[in-house]
Amino acid sequence: MKNYLLKALAYDKQVRIYVVRCDNVLNNLARRLNYYPSALASVGRVMAFTTMMGGMLKLEETVTVKVDGDGPIGLIMAEADAHGHVRAYASNPHCHFEYNSANKLNVRETVGHTGLISVIKDLKLKEPFVGSVPIIDGELAKDFAYYLMISEQVPSVVSLGVLVNTNNLAKSAGGFIIQLLPNTKEEVIDAIEKKLNTLPTVSEMFQNGMTLEQIGRMLGDDTFEVVETIPVKFRCTCSKSRFSKGILSLGKEEIQDMIDKEHGANTVCHFCGKNYEFSEDELIKLRDKAK
């Protein structure tokens, strides 16, 4: 299924709707780094939300979302821009939990019950915008809605879902965000609340073969209009030059220790799994540049 982000307006332009599907992009990550099911579901939810947050940006702005809970997956981080490019990773992709009462992936136990969610927006100003809220649920959709309300003062509904096949690849992944614009009428809010009580889950919508446009129309009303659709693609911005800067930041003593013990270095990008080798001579040059 095609992966893309849909941006729309509804209810006489009083409500913004974002809908995304990103399973192909998520599986790019799963194949490279061998994610276990509930870890993949957790990262997929963060990826879907971050992609939609990227859709709220302009030009060369970027957003980074970090979920740092007390669960075994550790830190989950995703980055996106306004053009549908996204990448994500988790500190420990090899963890898995299921709910005892149902055959569902247990994202809450994977992520954890407590911790911090941080959103960093690079708006190409002097300083980035940084907003943080505590994890209040662990399933992530409510947590992200809480972030939007508390940190950005935008009343929002967030729904996220990832279905994982027995081959540990995502069958579907995505979600939607409904945002109330200023001065939204009470009758519109009531209509949305009633609609949400009867809606199937995002995963069920994808299983039923619904397109993003169909999902958006289900969330909206007769005034629903698509503003833009953007292809969603995996893009990693790693490079040997970036890793060189990371090694430089370690300082002379640590670089010398790498030279003495390893006679070189092998670095791996957490996002894409790509390896960058540094020879002893390259480390010596970096050591001489380091503070």
Q: What is the pLDDT of residue 100?
A: 62
Q: What is the pLDDT of residue 269?
A: 86
Q: What is the mean pLDDT of each run of 10 residues along the chain (291 residues)?
A: 95 97 95 93 98 96 97 97 96 88 84 97 90 97 98 96 94 98 94 94 95 97 97 90 90 92 88 88 91 76
* Distance of alpha carbon 55 from alpha carbon 80, whole angstroms: 8
Q: How far apart are the first and last CA of the chain?
A: 50
Q: What is the pLDDT of residue 182?
A: 92
Q: What is the pLDDT of residue 39?
A: 97
With residues binned 3-state (H G I as helix, E B as strand, rest as coil), the percentages for the chain, rounded to 5, are 35, 30, 35
* Distance of alpha carbon 116 from alpha carbon 114, whole angstroms: 7
* Distance of alpha carbon 256 from alpha carbon 261, whole angstroms: 9
Q: What is the pLDDT of residue 67?
A: 98
* Distance of alpha carbon 235 from alpha carbon 15, whole angstroms: 30
253 close to 44: Cβ distance less than 8 angstroms: no
